[in-house]
Amino acid sequence: MEEIISKLIDRGNELLNRPYKKIEFTGVAEADRLLNDLDSFPHAFVLASVMDRQIKAERAWLIPYHISNEIGGFEFGRLSKLELDTLRAIFKKKSLHRFNEIMAESFYAAIKLIHDKYNSDASNIWNRGNGE
């Protein structure tokens, strides 16, 4: 058993130490850059994950990019100032999701959760910290 555990740990470390490889989530270069920039926009990845329900993944993962274009950027401070009604209007206007109303609410709730629980830094989710 110890040998298996050791091999799993070694393999995990090997994978973690590989150079970062950009993932093409959407096929849209600018959208994929946003989603892959975990240093500056970790919330883009998290929010896209939340949107990935009952629509094609490529469409769901484009939602942060479309919202970024609508509000003039995707900095977390800018997102955290959005009102729910503003997000509802963007989702409806752009027809971002099959379920625009509920997904706008989910997007808004995720922003608030990142702000409140993770000190406005979504990378604290995987860093196992709350930013304090």
User: Per-residue pLDDT tens for 33-49?
Assistant: 999 999 999 999 999 99
Asked if residue 16 belongs to a domain, the reply is: yes
Task: Give the pLDDT mean for 117-121.
Answer: 96
Confidence tier at 116 by pLDDT (50, 70, 90):
very high
Q: With respect to residue 115, please indicate whether it lies within any of the assigned structural domains.
A: yes
- Are 53 and 46 in contact by the 8 Å Cβ rule? The answer is no
Cα 2 to chain centroid distance, Å, stands at 36
- Domain-embedded: residue 71: yes
Q: Is the pLDDT of residue 132 over 60?
A: no
131 located within any domain: no
Q: What are phi and psi of 25, to 5 degrees?
A: -85, -35
- DSSP assigned state of 52: -
Grade residue 131 by pLDDT with cuts at 50, 70 and 90: low
132 belongs to a structural domain: no
In this prediction, residue 130 carries a pLDDT of 54
Counted domains in the chain: 1
Decide: pTM greater than 0.95: no
Chain mean pLDDT for the chain: 94
Say if CB 47 and CB 107 are below 8 A apart. Answer: yes
How many other CB atoms are found less than 10 A from the CB of residue 79?
25
Q: Is residue 90 domain-resident? A: yes
93 falls within a domain: yes
The amino acid at 71: I
State which residues form the domain around 80: 2-126
In a domain, 57, yes or no: yes
